[in-house]
A and B are shown apart, each in its own frame.
Chain A
Amino acid sequence: MSALGAIFTRELRLAFAGGGGPAGPAAFNLAALALAPLAIGPDAETLQAAGPGVIAFAALLATLQPAERIFSEDASDGTLELYALSPVGLALSVFMKTLAFILAVFWTTPLLAFVGGLAYGMDVTSAFVLALGLGFAAPGLAFIAAFAGALAAGLKRAGLLIALIAAPLQVPLLVFAAGAGRAAMDGTGLEGPNLMMALAGSLAALALAPFGAAAALKARLE
């Protein structure tokens, strides 16, 4: 357990010391939210209707942004070799590392979703449901992005590759998180099931993605 704790605290410290904590992805998320209305137009009704979708999509893009650096540095300075040799095993190490990274970086996602929802003209309850949905979905989205990051670590144009690999796999989480917000807004009564599906998808990604990422990293080490 202490080994896992050490990985966890190391990753937290790294995220805040060198990576600036949530600053990068949060700024990216915010910029996407601020630019979308400029493209869509100022019509209040259109913006409100597009709100949940645009906000969920901005959150998805923000998870892709730091995916490249999650593993590339650890792959180049030998940390991953140590993780692979440790009694904990690579899959569990990868899980702990990514979890710490997500907690450090993506705790802003629900907050931004809530504020964004209000700014796009959603009522408070719907904005809260959307924020909850993205709070459920964000860890799963980030784990899928991390899996793609593990596959592309150290390659040329890794960022492009990560987006192309991760985006299709992230579709279900996007559908359910945005769907929860829309259902709350339209009063269809489907926000409950949408939230549950977002959480289920996220937990499934949490359970499976570390094994995929560990297998990809192991292939690189051999």
Chain B
Amino acid sequence: MWSYFANPERFDRLARALLPWCWGVAAALFAIGLPWALYFSPGDYQQSDTVRIMYVHVPAAWLAMFAYAGLGGASFVYFIWRHNLADLAARAIAPAGAVFAFICLATGALWGRPMWGAWWVWDARLTSMLVLFLLYLGYMALRGAIEDEKLSARAGAILAMAGLINLPIIKFSVDWWNTLHQGASVFRFDGPTIDPSQLWPLAIMALGFTVLYLAFVLTQMRAMIMERRAEALERRRERRLELEAEL
């Protein structure tokens, strides 16, 4: 299956068919989710309206982590099978993941100010999200610093895989170090502890964010494929002009 879609031509056709659906479904989910989350859902009995920040904050946090798993997975596929598309996927995922990590940190700060009385506290979850953000930045800086495309792809893949191995250890060490953030309240063994009136808009927002993320990544990948094709055409044109000049 990998190899079937590893052909850029075939991938492009698939992406072109999928993309309108992705954008459409994301728009529809946000059309339902945003008003529900930001207006119709009940406020919290302690946090009142500030709880609404959660509907952006939590999906962004999930996606920042999910995207790093995607980055690591794509890097692994590139490193083993050398499929160019996997590298394009990794390159497209990194900025999206970094932006989600940043959104998570920024909305967390906005929420922390009224709730904890501080823009930032050195809590385990906040700190590991900050480290994740730094991992994304390091990956993008390394990719940007290497001009040779193949070398950039391989070095990036090695770094992304190292980060993936290290991420659970970082998470553990930082948890050990300090914990103030509330524990998980959605994914728990004994079922979610969050009320359905808030769980539903949260679920819709999370799904909307995920589809939006897919749309971003696919669009970016298509853009990169087209960029490559344009460069190849440009080179061919230059060569033809040179030949004509010689004649």
Task: Given A175-B173, A219-B151, verify A161-B159 contact (CB < 8 Å).
Answer: no
Nearest-Cβ distance from residue A150 to partner chain B, whole angstroms: 9
Closest to B169 in A: A172
The secondary structure that dominates the B interface is helix
B163 interface residue, CB < 8 Å from A?
Answer: yes
- Across the interface, A169 reaches (CB within 8 A) one of B154, B162, B172, B177, namely B162
Contact A208 B165 (CB under 8 A): yes
A101 interface residue, CB < 8 Å from B?
Answer: no
Contact A212 B158 (CB under 8 A): yes
Nearest-Cβ distance from residue A51 to partner chain B, whole angstroms: 17
B6 interface residue, CB < 8 Å from A?
Answer: no
Contact B177 A175 (CB under 8 A): yes
A167 interface residue, CB < 8 Å from B?
Answer: yes
Closest to B127 in A: A171
Most B-side CB within 10 Å, residue of A171, A204, A212:
A171
Inter-chain contact total with CB atoms closer than 8 Å: 76
The secondary structure that dominates the A interface is helix
Task: Given A172-B172, A201-B169, verify A164-B137 contact (CB < 8 Å).
Answer: yes
A32 interface residue, CB < 8 Å from B?
Answer: no
Task: Given A161-B142, A168-B138, verify A151-B159 contact (CB < 8 Å).
Answer: yes
Task: Given A168-B131, A219-B155, verify A151-B142 contact (CB < 8 Å).
Answer: yes
Residues of B within 8 Å of A197, CB to CB, are: 173, 176
Contact indicator per residue, chain B 143-167, by CB within 8 Å of chain A (1) or not (0): 0011000110011001101110110
Contact indicator per residue, chain B 174-198, by CB within 8 Å of chain A (1) or not (0): 1011000000000000000000000
Closest to B134 in A: A168
Contact B145 A168 (CB under 8 A): no
Contact B173 A168 (CB under 8 A): no
Residues of A within 8 Å of B163, CB to CB, are: 168-169
B225 interface residue, CB < 8 Å from A?
Answer: no
B118 interface residue, CB < 8 Å from A?
Answer: no
Residues of B within 8 Å of A155, CB to CB, are: 145-146
Q: How far is B158's CA from A219's CA once the two chains are assembled, in angstroms? A: 10
Q: How far is B162's CA from A168's CA once the two chains are assembled, in angstroms? A: 11
Residues of A within 8 Å of B176, CB to CB, are: 175-176, 179, 197
Contact B169 A215 (CB under 8 A): no
A84 interface residue, CB < 8 Å from B?
Answer: no
Q: How far is B155's CA from A168's CA once the two chains are assembled, in angstroms? A: 17
- Across the interface, B170 reaches (CB within 8 A) one of A152, A164, A168, A219, namely A168
Report B's interface with A, CB cutoff 8 A: 131-132, 134-135, 137-138, 141-142, 145-146, 150-151, 154-155, 158-159, 161-163, 165-166, 169-170, 172-174, 176-177
A156-B145, A175-B176 provided; 10 other pairs, C-beta below 8 A?
Answer: A147-B162, A151-B159, A165-B138, A168-B131, A168-B132, A168-B138, A169-B170, A212-B161, A212-B162, A219-B154
Leading 9 A-B pairs by shortest Cβ distance: A172-B173, A219-B154, A165-B138, A175-B173, A168-B134, A164-B138, A168-B131, A175-B177, A168-B135
